Structure 1
Amino acid sequence: MLPELLDARQIAAACRDGRLDPADVLRAFRQRMHERNPAINAVVGDPPADLPAQLEHLRRRLAAREPLPLAGVPVLVKDVIWVAGQRVTQGSRLFADFVAPRDALAVERLRRAGALIVGMANSSEFACKGLTTNHVYGLTRHPQDLSLTPGGSSGGCAAAVAAGLAPLALGTDGGGSSRRPPSHVGVVGFKPSFGAIADPFGFAHAFIGLQTLAPIARTVADARLMFDAMAGVDVRDPQTIELQPAADADVRRLRIAFSPRLGLDVPVDPDVSACMEAAVERLRGAGLPIERADPSWPQGASEEALMPLQHVGLASLFESDWRRDPDVFDPDIARQIERGLKWRGADVARAREAGLRIALTLGDFLQHHDLLVCPTTPCVAWPNDRPGPRIIEGQSVEPRAHAVFTPFMNHAMVPAISIPCGLGRDALPVGLQVVAARGRDHLLLAAAELFEAALRPLTARG
């Protein structure tokens, strides 16, 4: 039995019944990192010094027959999330020597479920860029083609899972950071409802009221397993919510809308559009009643209208550091801070109002449709020497044009998942985004599992 070929559920089951020693699991994935990580630079920093202690503690719990849904499963954590005793840099020189004083609550819950925290995954600086690169650890590359990027900001997590360096990774998602990179590398990225996972401990960040912790996995079932281990309210986080209970819903009776461009006037590459159409036809062939329907967004709804919130969030955190030495930051982050200092209070209020109007529009749409299906991104992965593609559907575009289909879900606080749905140009992966109403995470995951099974033939390479 080769642990690196197993998914998280299989590893946990084999560790629980004694067919696998967790030390052998750890050894197999460490070897995989040794072989593949130098080229892609997805796993960064030193491995946790407490790995031997983690193993010994896990063995005692297994011997005591504790119910451990993630027994022995290696998990990587994005380098913006606290892991006790671990250097967590946020990809910033300002935090190059920061050692987390405790675990994030989600990390604590993963350990409680039996997971082994095996290292940190690279992130763009402060998780605020669509390309995974920073001044501490450098550039993360696409595991399928080293000249390309997996996107950002959870590019290290997505690339690591796609390359088989770990079966699970914990990312963050404040505007699509854990959906777009999984789409680009052909794995699953799940953004839960805002408040589904309590998150009271860690760094202050720019995405106030938007960011969620996000499982990244090779399959929907593994993402679901990870999510179930982390989800739940905690009195120390007043933003957490109770989810609608899991139910045995008949997905074939759900009302499913397909929106090829999410109702936006934005370019989408022909290979992505072709993958979407083929995927939807295959889902219809599997008995799913999918109709064409677009949300009717308020006038001016766009990611650009929302960006002042990210800029002022960064400026509020790092104004004094930027004024002291702007060169300590990634140039793109420095520009965002500078812009944040120039936005007026009225500009911020308008951005907040735009986010609310988007949330209300999507909420109304999801009153009439149980699920919304659309592209995760309008393009496949692009060269890693630039923040975004320069051309989409034959049109010159701004660097953030690759990100148009994900941020609205953060502002609406709804769950959204990206699953592989086909191969675009150069056999590069394309992702399908599926969205449900806030709190209906279990329904979304059940539907995504069925979608994944139906679409699997479209994602096979050669």
Structure 2
Amino acid sequence: MNAVVHTPAVTEAPAWQLGVHELGEAYRAGRLTPVQALQAQLERLAEVQAVVNAMAWVDAEGARRAAEASAARWLRGQPLSALDGVPVTVKDNIPVAGLPCRWGSRLYQDHVPERDESPVARLRAAGAVILGKTAVPEFTLQGYTDSPVTGVTRNPWDPLLTPGGSSGGAVAALAAGVGALALATDGGGSIRRPAGHTGLYGFKPGWDTVPREHGLPEMLPRMEVIGPIARSARDLQLAMGVIGGARAGAWPDAPPPVPPQRIACWRHIAGSPVDPGVLAACDAAAERWRALGHTVDVVDAPLAVQAFNQHAWPVISTTGLARVLRQYPDAAARVGPALAEMLARGQAWRATELCDAQAVVRQLRRAMADVFRAHDLVLSPCSAALPWPAADSHPPRIADQPVDGRGHAVFTAFANATGLPALALPAGRVGHLPVGVQLAGPPGSDAALLALGQSWERAVAAVGTGAVELTPPLWPIWP
């Protein structure tokens, strides 16, 4: 497939390749209009949807109306924000007024919310163009993306493989050139792992950094947050300027200066297997941070992280599902087999076992407080595995060792249980596949993490390798 050429707009790259910042510059200079940018996006979508299956619903007419209104504002020199006229996709577990919000399940097949969830409302008020909804696994509880509603979503870097989950549709669309920004959720790594699998930047904010109202029923209480995925760290900053903070506009306009940091590097979780290529990328990232003036110490992760992964996560996630589905007496017969099994497990746990899981979470929070007394940040891989076959729920083996369904996901959920902000950064490639690393910080370090992300991006650009090198091949690598 070749890139679409658009003669009305003269830009350095096709309009569907441009990120948030580049689109704003093009609009401001009059080289491109939001209507032209949207048309380029829709044409690109027509090319790639059959291959990657990233979109669950497309609102072309609504997007056109929003783009036309944005074009009029830019013509008057009165854009509403840095996101005015920017095509944005929204994950299909985030309500958008008037669009189906099916959560990947036949149980929600006919659910059409009347109100936007609050981050979507902020995007609209900022002039963003809502392109549509991105595919998710059923009830967003799996680390790959396949559902009874939309089917299998595939990785633009290799359509035989998964982009991960549960934000698989969000990253597959963005990496294939659909949307300049993706709004997604992260309840156990669902932004960070897929971003790593597709060479993108993804941000999981800390607790209450992105306010949420008018959303779907809570599946993972206090663990799931909404955050952005983008092609650059700078674009994450622009997105947070709209959706972040207790009120619109409360997020800092510019990243704060960040002094040299003490970084703890976790290469394993209690000896868990990690793909050798992923480990090499993490080690290279550690060297890059050292070159930028930070201290990086390779240390063991607290045992409480593994205890949470093994003993608390299975209870919390499945009881959350049972809680959400208790209004459907026939739910087990109407969901897919994997969710039916999870539902049965969630219904079988006793109250004492849920209390035990909550005690493990409290132990994890104490352990992370100790971590941040000795270090400022934690560096790790985003995922222990490279992408695996698209229709498989998980890789059965990592580094030649058998693993369970969460073996690939050991590095991420601790941040959700403790409410910590965490940032996924592109960290090069293993063969033709992207790999990502994660920086996690203490409570309140959201802005500092994004500042460090931009520092990473500038450093990578200066040497001409890594994250910046990942951008052009995304358009795309087809078999």
Q: TM-score interval w.r.t. the shorter chain?
A: over 0.9
1:270-349 aligned within 5 A: 270-298=276-304, 301-306=307-312, 307-321=314-328, 323-349=329-355
- In structure 2, the CA distance between the partners of 1:14 and 1:300, relative to structure 1 (3 Å rule), is closer
**Distance in 1, Cα, partners of 2:201 & 2:411:** 16
SS at match of 2:307: coil
Distance 1:385 1:64, change over 3 A: closer
Letter aligned with residue 199 of structure 2: G
Report deviation, 1:255. 1.6
Q: Tell me, in whole angstroms, the C-alpha distance in 1 between the residues paired with 2:110 and 2:133.
A: 14
Shift of 1:300: 5.9
Aligned counterpart for 1:458 among listed residues 466, 469, 473 = 466
Q: Which residue of 2 aligns with 1:249?
A: 257
CA distance in 2, matches of 1:186, 1:299: 26
- Decide whether aligned partners of structure 1 residues 209 and 277 sit closer, same or farther in structure 2, where only a CA change above 3 A counts: same
Q: Paired residue for 2:22, among 5, 10, 16? A: 10
Q: Give 1:269 shift.
A: 1.2
Offset of residue 274 of structure 1: 1.1
Pick from 234, 250, 266: which aligns with 1:259?
266
Find the residue that maps to 2:147 and give its secondary structure.
coil
Q: 1:309 to 1:357 in 2, by over 3 A?
A: same
Give the match for residue 30 of structure 1. Answer: 42
Q: Which amino acid aligns with 2:336?
A: D
The separation in 2 between residues aligned to 1:167 and 1:247, in whole angstroms, is: 21
Q: Is the 8 A contact 1:244 1:441 kept in 2?
A: no
SS at match of 1:431: strand
Aligned residue in 1 for 2:439: 434
Match of 2:388, SS state, is coil
Moved over 6 A (4+): 242-247
**Cα distance per residue 1:267-325 (max 9 Å; x no partner):** 1111111111122123322333222233433396131212211111110111342x425
Change (3 A) 1:17 1:300: closer
Pick from 44, 53, 64 the counterpart of residue 41 of structure 1: 53
SS at match of 1:268: coil
RMSD: 2.1
Residue identity opposite 2:138 in structure 1: E
Specify whether residues 338 and 50 from structure 1 end up closer, same or farther in structure 2 by C-alpha distance, changes over 3 A only: same
1:300/1:423 Cα in 2 relative to 1: closer, same or farther (>3 Å)?
closer
Q: Give ranges in structure 1 of 5+ residues lacking alignment.
A: 236-241
Amino acid at match of 1:370: D
Looking at structure 1, the residues matched to 79 and 276 of structure 2 have their Cα atoms a distance apart, in angstroms, of: 51
Q: TM-score, normalised by structure 1?
A: 0.93
Sequence identity (%): 35
Q: Which amino acid aligns with 1:157?
A: A
Instruction: For residue 52 of structure 1, report the CA deviation from its aligned partner.
Output: 3.2
1: CA distance between counterparts of 2:61 and 2:405? 39
Once the two structures are TM-superposed, the CA of residue 264 in structure 1 deviates from its matched residue by 2.3
Q: Tell which deviates more after alignment, 302-311 or 204-213.
A: 302-311
1:418 maps to amino acid = A
Shift of 1:455: 4.0
Q: For the residues of structure 1 that align with 2:160 and 2:89, how far apart are their CA atoms?
A: 24
Answer whether contact 2:157 2:432 (CA < 8 A) is retained: no
Are residue 420 (structure 1) and residue 432 (structure 2) matched?
no
Rounded to whole Å, the distance in 2 between the matches of 1:201 and 1:12 is 30
2:25 & 2:251 partners in 1: Cα distance?
27
CA distance in 1, matches of 2:274, 2:210: 33
TM-score normalized with structure 2 length: 0.90
Distance 2:326 2:258 in 1: 51
Where 1:448 maps in the other structure, the secondary structure is: helix
Is this contact kept in 2: 1:363–1:412, CA < 8 A?
Answer: no
Count of residue pairs brought into register by the alignment = 452
Letter paired with 1:368? A
Q: 2:32 aligned with 1:20, yes or no?
A: yes
In the alignment, the residues of structure 1 paired with residue 210 and residue 332 of structure 2 have an alpha-carbon distance, to the nearest angstrom, of: 34
Task: Tell me, in whole angstroms, the C-alpha distance in 1 between the residues paired with 2:292 and 2:448.
Answer: 18
Give the Cα separation in 1 of the matches to 2:244 and 2:142. 26
Alpha-carbon contact 1:15-1:71 (below 8 Å) kept: no
Cα gap change, 1:372 to 1:299, in 2 (>3 Å) = closer
In the alignment, structure 2 segments of 5+ residues that lack a partner are: 1-10, 474-479
